[in-house]
Copies of this chain bind each other. A is one copy, B any other.
Amino acid sequence: MTTTPPTSGTTRSTASERRTHVLEVATREFATRGYEGGSTERIAAAAGISQPYVFRLFGSKHKLFLAVIEQCLDDTLAMFATAAADLQGEAALQAIGEAYGERILANPMMLQLQLVGYASCDDELVRASMRAGYRRLVEYVERVSGADEETISLFFARGMLLNVATSMRLDRDPVDWGTRLMEGCRPERYSP
Protein backbone atom coordinates (compact mmCIF):
# COMPACT_ATOMS: atom_id res chain seq x y z
CA MET A 1 0.00 0.00 0.00
CA THR A 2 3.07 2.26 0.33
CA THR A 3 3.52 4.44 -2.71
CA THR A 4 7.32 4.29 -2.49
CA PRO A 5 8.86 2.45 -5.45
CA PRO A 6 11.02 -0.48 -4.28
CA THR A 7 14.71 0.21 -4.75
CA SER A 8 15.43 3.93 -4.92
CA GLY A 9 15.21 6.80 -7.37
CA THR A 10 11.94 8.00 -5.91
CA THR A 11 9.90 10.60 -7.73
CA ARG A 12 9.02 13.55 -5.54
CA SER A 13 5.92 15.56 -4.71
CA THR A 14 5.78 19.28 -4.18
CA ALA A 15 5.60 20.43 -0.59
CA SER A 16 2.09 21.71 -1.22
CA GLU A 17 0.88 18.32 -2.46
CA ARG A 18 2.40 16.70 0.60
CA ARG A 19 0.75 19.20 2.89
CA THR A 20 -2.64 18.43 1.38
CA HIS A 21 -2.15 14.72 1.82
CA VAL A 22 -0.85 15.04 5.37
CA LEU A 23 -3.83 17.22 6.28
CA GLU A 24 -6.14 14.51 5.01
CA VAL A 25 -4.43 11.80 7.00
CA ALA A 26 -4.10 13.98 10.11
CA THR A 27 -7.83 14.65 10.03
CA ARG A 28 -8.48 10.95 10.47
CA GLU A 29 -5.90 10.63 13.21
CA PHE A 30 -7.05 13.58 15.30
CA ALA A 31 -10.72 12.80 14.72
CA THR A 32 -10.39 9.30 16.11
CA ARG A 33 -7.74 9.88 18.79
CA GLY A 34 -8.15 13.50 19.83
CA TYR A 35 -5.43 16.10 19.90
CA GLU A 36 -3.30 14.64 22.68
CA GLY A 37 -3.97 11.11 21.54
CA GLY A 38 -2.98 11.80 17.96
CA SER A 39 0.57 10.83 17.07
CA THR A 40 2.78 12.53 14.51
CA GLU A 41 4.52 9.21 14.01
CA ARG A 42 1.31 7.52 12.99
CA ILE A 43 0.35 10.45 10.79
CA ALA A 44 3.71 10.30 9.03
CA ALA A 45 3.46 6.55 8.56
CA ALA A 46 -0.07 6.82 7.16
CA ALA A 47 1.04 9.59 4.81
CA GLY A 48 4.03 7.56 3.64
CA ILE A 49 6.66 10.05 4.75
CA SER A 50 9.14 10.25 7.58
CA GLN A 51 8.06 11.75 10.88
CA PRO A 52 10.58 14.64 10.79
CA TYR A 53 9.13 15.76 7.48
CA VAL A 54 5.76 16.33 9.12
CA PHE A 55 7.49 18.90 11.28
CA ARG A 56 9.18 20.43 8.28
CA LEU A 57 5.81 20.85 6.63
CA PHE A 58 3.79 22.11 9.59
CA GLY A 59 6.24 23.31 12.23
CA SER A 60 4.63 21.58 15.21
CA LYS A 61 1.88 19.17 16.15
CA HIS A 62 -0.14 22.05 17.46
CA LYS A 63 0.05 23.98 14.20
CA LEU A 64 -0.89 20.86 12.28
CA PHE A 65 -3.92 20.43 14.49
CA LEU A 66 -4.96 24.03 13.91
CA ALA A 67 -4.62 23.56 10.17
CA VAL A 68 -6.80 20.46 10.34
CA ILE A 69 -9.48 22.27 12.36
CA GLU A 70 -9.46 25.22 10.02
CA GLN A 71 -9.81 23.06 6.95
CA CYS A 72 -12.68 21.17 8.51
CA LEU A 73 -14.59 24.39 9.11
CA ASP A 74 -13.78 25.68 5.63
CA ASP A 75 -15.08 22.45 4.12
CA THR A 76 -18.27 22.73 6.12
CA LEU A 77 -18.88 26.25 4.88
CA ALA A 78 -18.18 25.17 1.32
CA MET A 79 -20.69 22.36 1.77
CA PHE A 80 -23.30 24.84 3.04
CA ALA A 81 -22.69 27.02 0.00
CA THR A 82 -22.97 24.13 -2.43
CA ALA A 83 -26.17 22.92 -0.81
CA ALA A 84 -27.80 26.34 -0.82
CA ALA A 85 -26.67 26.89 -4.43
CA ASP A 86 -28.97 29.57 -5.79
CA LEU A 87 -31.72 28.96 -3.27
CA GLN A 88 -32.77 31.42 -0.62
CA GLY A 89 -35.11 31.77 2.34
CA GLU A 90 -36.64 28.67 3.93
CA ALA A 91 -35.69 26.57 0.93
CA ALA A 92 -32.00 27.34 1.42
CA LEU A 93 -32.22 26.57 5.11
CA GLN A 94 -33.84 23.25 4.42
CA ALA A 95 -31.34 22.34 1.73
CA ILE A 96 -28.42 23.08 4.05
CA GLY A 97 -30.01 21.09 6.84
CA GLU A 98 -30.50 18.09 4.58
CA ALA A 99 -26.99 18.30 3.19
CA TYR A 100 -25.52 18.53 6.67
CA GLY A 101 -27.39 15.47 7.82
CA GLU A 102 -26.30 13.48 4.79
CA ARG A 103 -22.72 14.56 5.10
CA ILE A 104 -22.57 13.58 8.72
CA LEU A 105 -23.92 10.14 7.98
CA ALA A 106 -21.63 9.70 4.98
CA ASN A 107 -18.44 11.04 6.51
CA PRO A 108 -18.33 10.71 10.30
CA MET A 109 -14.73 11.95 10.35
CA MET A 110 -15.75 15.60 10.03
CA LEU A 111 -18.27 15.25 12.81
CA GLN A 112 -15.82 13.54 15.10
CA LEU A 113 -13.24 16.21 14.43
CA GLN A 114 -15.76 18.91 15.21
CA LEU A 115 -16.41 17.35 18.60
CA VAL A 116 -12.69 17.07 19.23
CA GLY A 117 -12.48 20.75 18.36
CA TYR A 118 -15.10 21.72 20.94
CA ALA A 119 -13.42 19.56 23.54
CA SER A 120 -10.07 21.24 22.80
CA CYS A 121 -11.47 24.75 23.20
CA ASP A 122 -9.51 25.23 26.40
CA ASP A 123 -6.62 26.03 24.10
CA GLU A 124 -6.80 29.68 23.12
CA LEU A 125 -5.76 29.25 19.50
CA VAL A 126 -8.09 26.33 18.94
CA ARG A 127 -10.91 28.33 20.45
CA ALA A 128 -10.12 31.32 18.24
CA SER A 129 -10.15 29.10 15.17
CA MET A 130 -13.42 27.44 16.14
CA ARG A 131 -15.05 30.78 16.84
CA ALA A 132 -13.89 32.23 13.54
CA GLY A 133 -15.18 29.22 11.62
CA TYR A 134 -18.46 29.13 13.45
CA ARG A 135 -18.96 32.81 12.87
CA ARG A 136 -18.65 32.32 9.13
CA LEU A 137 -21.21 29.51 9.26
CA VAL A 138 -23.72 31.51 11.26
CA GLU A 139 -23.36 34.63 9.17
CA TYR A 140 -23.64 32.66 5.96
CA VAL A 141 -26.83 30.93 7.07
CA GLU A 142 -28.27 34.21 8.28
CA ARG A 143 -27.50 35.90 5.02
CA VAL A 144 -28.69 33.19 2.66
CA SER A 145 -31.82 32.28 4.58
CA GLY A 146 -32.81 35.74 5.76
CA ALA A 147 -34.53 33.98 8.64
CA ASP A 148 -35.11 35.50 12.06
CA GLU A 149 -32.94 34.97 15.12
CA GLU A 150 -35.07 32.21 16.56
CA THR A 151 -35.18 30.14 13.40
CA ILE A 152 -31.40 30.41 12.96
CA SER A 153 -30.84 29.43 16.57
CA LEU A 154 -33.16 26.48 16.17
CA PHE A 155 -31.33 25.45 13.01
CA PHE A 156 -27.96 25.29 14.73
CA ALA A 157 -29.36 23.74 17.87
CA ARG A 158 -30.72 20.87 15.82
CA GLY A 159 -27.39 20.50 14.12
CA MET A 160 -25.66 20.15 17.45
CA LEU A 161 -28.13 17.55 18.64
CA LEU A 162 -27.56 15.68 15.40
CA ASN A 163 -23.82 15.81 16.14
CA VAL A 164 -23.96 14.29 19.58
CA ALA A 165 -26.57 11.75 18.54
CA THR A 166 -24.32 10.61 15.73
CA SER A 167 -21.27 10.49 17.99
CA MET A 168 -23.21 8.12 20.26
CA ARG A 169 -24.17 6.20 17.09
CA LEU A 170 -27.87 6.52 17.71
CA ASP A 171 -28.26 6.26 13.94
CA ARG A 172 -26.17 3.15 13.29
CA ASP A 173 -27.28 1.41 16.47
CA PRO A 174 -30.77 2.73 17.13
CA VAL A 175 -32.71 2.61 20.39
CA ASP A 176 -36.25 3.78 20.97
CA TRP A 177 -35.47 6.82 23.12
CA GLY A 178 -32.90 7.93 20.57
CA THR A 179 -35.26 7.53 17.66
CA ARG A 180 -37.87 9.53 19.53
CA LEU A 181 -35.29 12.22 20.24
CA MET A 182 -34.25 12.47 16.60
CA GLU A 183 -37.78 12.53 15.20
CA GLY A 184 -38.30 16.20 16.07
CA CYS A 185 -34.98 17.02 14.45
CA ARG A 186 -35.75 16.51 10.76
CA PRO A 187 -34.85 19.17 8.22
CA GLU A 188 -38.36 19.16 6.74
CA ARG A 189 -39.59 20.76 9.95
CA TYR A 190 -37.74 24.05 9.83
CA SER A 191 -40.71 26.23 8.96
CA PRO A 192 -42.70 27.71 11.87
Contact = CB atoms under 8 A, between A and B. Distances in A.
Contacts of A157: 154, 157-158, 160-161, 184-185
Nearest to A182: B153
A161 B153 contact: yes
Contacts of A130: 168
A167 to B, nearest CB: 5
A175 to B, nearest CB: 7
Given A115-B119, A121-B169, A163-B160, A135 B175 contact: yes
Contact of A177 (B37, B135, B178): B135
A148 B73 CA distance: 34
For chain A, give the interface size range. 35 or more
A58 interface: no
B181 A156 contact: yes
Main secondary structure of the interface of A (DSSP, over half): helix
Contacts of A37: 34-37
Contacts of A189: 150
Closest 8 CB pairs of A and B: A153-B184, A36-B37, A150-B184, A160-B160, A157-B161, A157-B157, A36-B36, A119-B119
27 contacts: A32-B122, A34-B35, A34-B119, A34-B120, A36-B37, A112-B119, A112-B122, A115-B118, A115-B119, A116-B119, A118-B163, A118-B168, A119-B167, A121-B169, A127-B169, A131-B175, A135-B175, A135-B177, A138-B180, A149-B180, A150-B189, A153-B185, A154-B154, A154-B157, A156-B181, A157-B184, A160-B163
